Amino acid sequence: MRFPKDVPVLTDQGIRLRAPRLEDVEAMVEMYRDPDTQYWSGSPPTDDREEAELDVTERIPKGWRVGTRRTWVIEYGGEYAGAITLSGGESGVGSVGFTGHPAYRGKGLATRAVRLVLAHAFDDLGWHRVTWCAFVGNWAARRVAWRTGFRNFFTTHGAGPADGERRDEWIASIGRDDEREPQNHWWQVPVIETERFRLREYRDSDVERAAEMSNDERTLHWLANLPKPFGRQDAEQYLARGREGQASGERVGWVVADPDTDELLGDVGVFGLHSRSDQTSGELGYSAHPEARGRGLITAAVGRVIEQAFLPIDEGGLGRLRLEIRAAKGNLASIQVAEANGFTRAGVLRAADHRRDGSYDDLVIFDLLISDRG
C-alpha cells in the first residue's frame, strides 16, 4: 500500500475523513453489495473481497499519488460509514462522488463529508469549481448536493454512463465563492385530511389514474399543451416533473384523494413559486378525474390549498401573499372554481390561450391577495 504521506485527515465534530485501510475491506464489501449502491453507481463496484483489497492497496493509493482521484473513508464513531472521492482538478475544476454504508445512511454523514471535501478542494487545493452528478431519481444524493449549496441543477438525457448503457443524469456545480447552503426552498407536501378528501403527495401508483385524468376530452381541450393522446408515459413524466419542481422550489402539487380508498380524484398544484425577484406569488392549477367532476370537490380542494399557500413558510405553508388563476374565457368550470374561492377577475389577455385547431381564446386572469381574506 503506497499512499502518499500527506493524505489529509479532514474532521468536523462528527466525522473523520481518512485514507482507507485493510481493516475497512469487510465494510466496503458490505457497501458494494448493497442494491442501492449497485444501482446508483455508474459502474457497479464488484463485491469481491480481493477486489476490495486491491482498491485499498493499489487503486485508491494510485489515485492519490497521481492526484486525479482522492478517496477518503468516512469514519463515524470509529466505524467505516462510507467513502467520498474528489476526482479531476485539472484547471481548478473537479467533481465529488460519495457513497454511504447502508447502516449509516440518513444520519447526515454524506452531507458533512461533502462540506469537508468542498472546503478542502477550495481552500487547500485551490480549485474554483466542483461538479456533482447522479442518475435521475437518486433523491438522497440530490438532497445532499442541494443541502451543501450545489446549484443550477439540470438533466442531461441519456448521458450518464451506467455499466454499458446510458441513463438520464442530473448535473450541478458550486463555485469557490458560492454560499454552501441550499439555493432554493425544497417544498414538502404535507398530507391534509378533510372529511371529503385527502390532499397528499403523488405516488407512482397514481400513474394510471393521472393518465385517465389528463387523457380526457375536456382536459385535453383546455390544456392544449398536453400531449394528445395522454398516456401512461406522459403521466410518469408529469409525476417526475412535479418532483423536480418541488426540489427546485418551483412548484408543489397535491393529489386530491378519496379519504377512504386513497384513489386519485384530482390534483391541485401551485407553481411559479421560485422567481428570482419575488417569492410571494404563485399560480394555481387544477384538474379533476372525469369520475370526480360536478360535485364541488376541486373547488373545496383549491380552497384548502389556498389556506396552505397563504400560511407562512415557518408554519409549514408556502408563504404566498398573492395567488393567480388563469383560465380560458370559455372554460366555465375552471372559472367557477376561481370565483367560488373568492378570486377577483383582474383582467383579460386577448387571444392568449391556444387551442389545438390553431385558434386562440382570451385568457382571463383572476387574483386573490392575502389581504382580501380579511
Q: Which is nearer to ligand COA, 64 or 104 (CB)?
A: 104
Please, what is the minimum distance in Å from the beta carbon of residue 113 to ligand COA? 8
The H helix count followed by the E strand count for the chain is 11, 16
- Dihedral (CA of 288, 292, 294, 297) sign: negative
Amino acid identity of 325?
I
Please, what is the minimum distance in Å from the beta carbon of residue 1 to ligand COA? 25
Q: Which is nearer to ligand COA, 97 or 285 (CB)?
A: 97
Please, what is the minimum distance in Å from the beta carbon of residue 193 to ligand COA? 23
Please, what is the minimum distance in Å from the beta carbon of residue 141 to ligand COA? 4
Question: Do the Cβ atoms of 334 and 222 come closer than 8 Å?
Answer: yes
CB pairs under 8 A, 24+ apart, for 3-12? 3/60, 3/61, 3/64, 3/65, 4/61, 4/64, 4/65, 7/64, 7/70, 7/72, 8/120, 8/124, 10/72, 10/116, 10/117, 10/119, 10/120, 11/116, 12/112, 12/115, 12/116
Enter the C-alpha cell of residue 303: 380552497
Question: Do the Cβ atoms of 182 and 146 come closer than 8 Å?
Answer: yes
Q: Which is nearer to ligand COA, 133 or 337 (CB)?
A: 133
**End-to-end alpha carbon distance in the chain:** 72
Q: Which is nearer to ligand COA, 170 or 230 (CB)?
A: 170
Enter the C-alpha cell of residue 91: 484547471
Amino acid identity of 185?
H
Q: Which is nearer to ligand COA, 121 or 300 (CB)?
A: 121
H or E element in which residue 30 lies: helix 25-33
Residues at the contact surface with ligand COA, assessed by CB under 6 A: 36-37, 40, 97-100, 105-111, 134, 138-141, 143-144, 147
Please, what is the minimum distance in Å from the beta carbon of residue 151 to ligand COA? 17
Please, what is the minimum distance in Å from the beta carbon of residue 71 to ligand COA? 13
Please, what is the minimum distance in Å from the beta carbon of residue 114 to ligand COA? 8
Q: Which is nearer to ligand COA, 154 or 358 (CB)?
A: 154
Q: Which is nearer to ligand COA, 111 or 155 (CB)?
A: 111
Give dist(CA 278, CA 271) in Å, integer: 13
Which residues sit opposite 173 in a β-bridge? 131, 151
Q: Which is nearer to ligand COA, 68 or 111 (CB)?
A: 111
| Short-list 43, 23, 21, CA closest to 32 | 43
Please, what is the minimum distance in Å from the beta carbon of residue 90 to ligand COA? 21
Please, what is the minimum distance in Å from the beta carbon of residue 81 to ligand COA? 8
Q: Which is nearer to ligand COA, 240 or 349 (CB)?
A: 240
Question: Do the Cβ atoms of 261 and 267 come closer than 8 Å?
Answer: no
Which residues sit opposite 353 in a β-bridge? 361
Q: State the residue for C-alpha cell 474528489.
A: 86
